[in-house]
Amino acid sequence: MQVWRALAELRAGEPVSYSELATRIGRPGAARAVASAVAANPVPVLLPCHRVIRRNGQIGQYIGGASRKRDLLAHERIERSNPHVRERP
């Protein structure tokens, strides 16, 4: 649940590594457990698990495939850089 709450707080277009997400929830040594929780996300549309990437910058796996994950991240970066698009709270 901690991981899923942390996923809900991630900002669009700003990927975070599994180890960074583990640190954010106060469990810096739990990157593998975080990865397991991310993979078990039952609602990827609501909890943006596509924003979690590997520490080395690689995309990693995604329920919809790596290319879809890459596309989602690119789309969010474009939206954030567009001054006419307001960020959602």
Strand partners, 53: 17
* Catalytic one of 10, 21, 37, 49: 49
Is 49 known to be catalytic?
yes
Rounded Cα distance, 47 and 9, in Å:
9
Measured from the Cβ of residue 38, the count of other Cβ atoms closer than 10 Å reads 24
Residue 45 DSSP symbol: T
Residues serving a catalytic function are 49
